Chains A and B, each alone.
Chain A
């Protein structure tokens, strides 16, 4: 009995240490878990942010390379074109002597081809239409689906000149962005001028 009490007492007296040891482990564990959670939350936060920004940057880069490809295709058509008509306006955004559809002629495979490049205001896309030998027009889309063309206006310099002696010079006004809603307001406004290599007097 004495032994038991002694043991018990010694348990209690030793329990101070035992309790202390257990408590240290507990606090250590709590601290460890909380530090781990805080670091984990930070890492996950940075990771998610990084992923989101990576998605935006990829989308913006794609938009830029896509737009430059479309612009280069249009510029190439204009450089090789002749008999340009003053741009026609089908939508409401291009104003004054600006129009959203540019029509001209080109020689393709020794055949005179009517080419028309138009901006579809409703679909935010650029369409190219080609007609030759009274065949039905071939319509191709010049931009990819992930690019939203918010403006494409053409201006022929000088606007009205008949019979034409002045060289054909077309200025393009283009505003474009991504179709991704989160970065839709990050638009790029481009303006460039391209002149035809053929002069009006050489085209006749």
Chain B
């Protein structure tokens, strides 16, 4: 009789533990789903930032290409006004301005929500900083540079981590007659 009672008591405890284990397993499963869901939104946000940064970086390269093309149009040396260094370029710039050393000295791009323009003049600051690095190469040691390497980097702070997009383009003096 005593044994029977003990057995019964023991059984009740077992049911309790079983229930607790079941609930905790279900909870862990649910937590996994929740984490997955919240991460997917965060990753989507990261993707959209990267999307914007890639286009801003490609704009940096196009501005340098614009300077080279303008030199051809004006019949001057193709690399006039282009010297080694890092530059902060604006979308409507026709020249590179003065060199800036490193992202810590770079200004963030502003975004004007009325006009939709990213520049350094109007609007609210965005997390994006853009620097265009130029290195001129004299291939074959002919005394003039015949290759310009343009590296456009956009750096931004996202959820405590620094992220960046880097695009590189090589320009050659192929239009030279």
Contact = CB atoms under 8 A, between A and B. Distances in A.
Q: Do A and B come from one complex?
A: yes
B26 A43 contact: yes
Contacts of B51: 64, 68, 188, 190
Contact of A171 (B19, B36, B47, B59): B59
Contact of A192 (B23, B56, B94): B56
B92 A157 contact: yes
A184 interface: no
B164 to A, nearest CB: 17
Interface stretch (A8-16, A83-91, A129-137, A161-169): A161-169
Interface in A172-200: 173-175, 188-195, 199-200
B30 interface: yes
A53 B40 contact: yes
Contacts of A190: 51-52, 55
A28 B18 CA distance: 13
B30 A43 contact: yes
A129 B56 CA distance: 27
A177 B15 CA distance: 53
Contacts of B62: 169, 192-195
Interface stretch (B78-86, B96-104, B113-121): B113-121
Contact of A46 (B33, B47, B66, B175): B33
Contact of B30 (A42, A165, A169, A195): A42
Interface residues of B, number: 39
- Which of A57, A95, A171, A192 is packed against the most chain B CB atoms within 10 Å? A192
B111 A189 contact: yes
In this complex, the member of A49, A64, A169 whose beta carbon has the largest number of chain B beta carbons within 10 angstroms is: A169
A195 B66 contact: yes
Contact of B91 (A68, A167, A193, A201): A193
Interface in B52-77: 52, 55-56, 58-59, 62-63, 65-66, 69-70, 72-74
A63 to B, nearest CB: 9
Contact of A96 (B44, B52, B115): B115
Given A189-B111, A193-B63, A173 B116 contact: yes
A147 interface: no
Contacts of A157: 66, 91-92, 94
B48 interface: yes
B49 to A, nearest CB: 9
18 contacts: A28-B15, A42-B30, A50-B36, A50-B37, A53-B37, A53-B41, A60-B48, A71-B55, A157-B94, A169-B62, A169-B66, A171-B92, A173-B116, A174-B116, A189-B52, A189-B111, A190-B55, A193-B58
The 5 closest A-B pairs by CB, nearest first: A167-B69, A192-B55, A173-B116, A193-B62, A193-B59
